[in-house]
Amino acid sequence: MPADTITEQVQEVLDKLRPFLLRDGGDCELIDVEDGIVKLRLLGACGSCPSSTITLKAGIERALFEEVPGIVEVEQVF
């Protein structure tokens, strides 16, 4: 599958999750998708929240695994 298609699919999933992040004063920015690894930057309240790792792994990563074939990991970049 072309990389741009995977990136578009990842962005669509993030756009669905964004209202939940915004509600808590945060957001996320897609930095890159490379070899099935999604690189995200958590913004706003999410960047400094102690639960951000749980949000990233249990929320965002799980949703991406379910909806985008080929995703193997989500990494937080700073």
Give the chain's domain count.
1
Instruction: Determine the Cα–Cα distance for residues 69 and 55; give it in Å rounded to an integer.
Output: 20
Domain interval for residue 33: 3-76
User: Which band of pLDDT confidence, cut at 50, 70 and 90, is reported for residue 1?
Assistant: low
Instruction: Determine the Cα–Cα distance for residues 78 and 67; give it in Å rounded to an integer.
Output: 25
- Give the pLDDT confidence of 55-69 residue by residue, as tens digits: 888 899 999 999 999
- Non-local CB neighbours of 29 within 8 Å, separated by 6+ positions: 40, 41, 43
Torsion sign, CA atoms 76, 3, 72, 23:
positive
Instruction: Determine the Cα–Cα distance for residues 17 and 55; give it in Å rounded to an integer.
Output: 11
Instruction: Tell me the CATH number at 21.
Output: 3.30.300.130
